[in-house]
Amino acid sequence: MIGLMDFILPQASTSATQVDFLIELIFVIVGVWFILAEGVLFYLIFRFRKKEGVKAQYITGEKHEENKWVHIPHNLILVFDVIIIIFAIKIWYGVKQHLPAPDETIRVIGQQWAWTFVHPGKDKILGTDDDVAKVDELRLKVGTTYHFQLTSKDVLHSFSIPAFRLKQDAIPGRIITGWFKPTKTGEYDFQCAEICGIGHGIMQAKVFVENEADHNKWLEGQKEHIVLPDFFPAAPMNPTIAAAPN
C-alpha cells in the first residue's frame, strides 16, 4: 500500500509501512485539529472585531459558555492521544522488541569512519570460512527476513537505513540484535545517524536489495575469506537480544 510518506521516501521494508502509518495517523489528527483551531480563531477575530459604538469586554473565562472552548477540545484531544499511544506501542513492539525467525543473519560493524558488513556464504551460516565481508556495501535479498548483529569497534555510531525506517545505535562492547525484511529491490542509502567524530559526515554506505537470481550471482562471485573481529565468537551466534530502544 502506498502512503503519503512513500512519495517523500520509498518504503523498502515491512517496518517502513508500519512506521509511515503512525506518522500519517498523527499528521491527519494534528492536521484536522489545526484546521479547526485556525477556523475558530479567524471566526472569533471576525465575530468580535472592533465596531463603532460597542465597548470592549473583559472576559474572565469563569462562565461555562466561555470556557467550553477549552474543555471540550481538551477532552477530545486526550482521546486521540490514547489512540496514538496504542498504535505507537503496537508498532514499537513489532519493530524493536519482537524478533521473528530469521532466514539469514548478517553482522554490522561500525568504526571511524566506515561500516563493515559480514554476509553468510553459501552455507547461510555466519562464522564459517565462506563468510563474505564488504566495506560500505550491504547486499540483501528481497523478501528475506534478516537478523543483524550490530556493534562498534570504537565509539557510538548509529545504524540507519531511511528507506527501511530503521535506526539503531551501535554501542562498543555490546552486540545488539534486531531485524528487518526488505520488500522492494533497489539501491538505498545507509548512514551513521550519531555524531562520531570529524569523519561522521562521510560515514555512508549503500544497501543493494536484489532479487534471488541477482543476489545468488553476486554471492557466487565472492571469494573473500575473512578473519572475525575479537568481539565476535567463532561459532555461529544464537541471537537472543532484541534491539534496544534508541
Return the pLDDT at 232: 52
pLDDT tens string 23-42: 888 999 889 889 988 998 89
Closest C-alpha among 101, 100, 93 to residue 22: 93
Report yes or no on 244 lying in a domain: no
Report yes or no on 91 lying in a domain: yes
**Pair (172, 212) in one structural domain:** yes
pLDDT-wise least confident of 11-15, 70-74, 91-95:
70-74
Give the predicted TM-score (pTM) of the model. Answer: 0.71
**Pair (36, 143) in one structural domain:** no
Q: Which domain covers residue 120, as residue numbers?
A: 104-220
Inter-residue contact 106 to 193 (CB < 8 Å): no
pLDDT tens string 160-214: 999 989 888 999 988 888 899 999 999 999 889 889 889 898 888 899 999 989 9
Closest C-alpha among 227, 15, 200 to residue 111: 200
**Pair (210, 108) in one structural domain:** yes
Confidence band, pLDDT 50/70/90 cuts, at residue 4: low
Instruction: Report the share of the chain in percent with pLDDT over 90.
Output: 18
Domain count, the chain: 2
Q: Give the contacts of 99 (CB within 8 A, at least 6 positions apart).
A: 147, 177, 178, 179, 239, 242
Return the pLDDT at 219: 84
Report yes or no on 162 lying in a domain: yes
Tell whether the model's pLDDT for residue 236 goes beyond 50.
no
**Pair (87, 116) in one structural domain:** no
